[in-house]
A = this chain, B = another copy of it.
Amino acid sequence: MKREIYKGKVVHLFVESVTLPNATTIDMEVVRHPGAAAVVPLLENGKVVLIRQYRYATGGYLYEIPAGKLSDGEPPETCAVRETEEETGWHIGRLDKLTTIFTAPGFCDEQIHLYLGTKLTRSRQQLDPDEVLEVVELPFDDAIQKIDDQIICDAKSVVALQLAYTRKTLS
């Protein structure tokens, strides 16, 4: 049994009666999410394109990789290219899949598909009124150092930057 508690712009909350594999039946709170895509955009000069974005929920600005929710039926790759272009003004010519992560499996079904983006060309930034961010280009080594220094602390961004860096270092 599934009861809808709230349907907002972002959060779609249900309470669902669930029988677990151990035969315990409980009510679970589940936030249903359309999924998202995110990209490490890597320039030919070796810099990565990050955004420094205002995040109300966390109380300030966070360094992140460009990312966004999938539109209805939108393939993750299309979303990845679209969101990077809208947020950073860079068009991505090539995407390589890094992985797909669950962000908060205890209460939310959100999956984020992560990519390395290369063959970048200049395009035009188009921010929504509720997006407050600046674009920051950083040498890849500096971005990795900022993870170690606990300055880059957004989960999807840490995962994607580390996977992309390892691949780049190995190749």
Chain A residues close to B by CB (< 8 Å): 5-6, 8-11, 13, 15-16, 18, 20-22, 24, 26-31, 54-59, 62, 64, 99-112, 129-130, 132, 147-148, 150, 153-156, 158-159, 162-163
Known: A9-B29, A15-B8, A159-B158. A99 touches B58 (CB 8 A): no
Give the number of copies in the complex.
Answer: 2
Known: A148-B163, A159-B162. 16 other contacts (CB 8 A): A8-B29, A11-B31, A11-B107, A16-B56, A22-B129, A28-B56, A31-B31, A58-B102, A99-B150, A99-B153, A99-B158, A101-B154, A102-B154, A103-B155, A112-B155, A159-B159
Chain B residue contacts of A106, Cβ below 8 A: 10, 55, 57
A15 to B6 Cα, complex, angstroms: 11
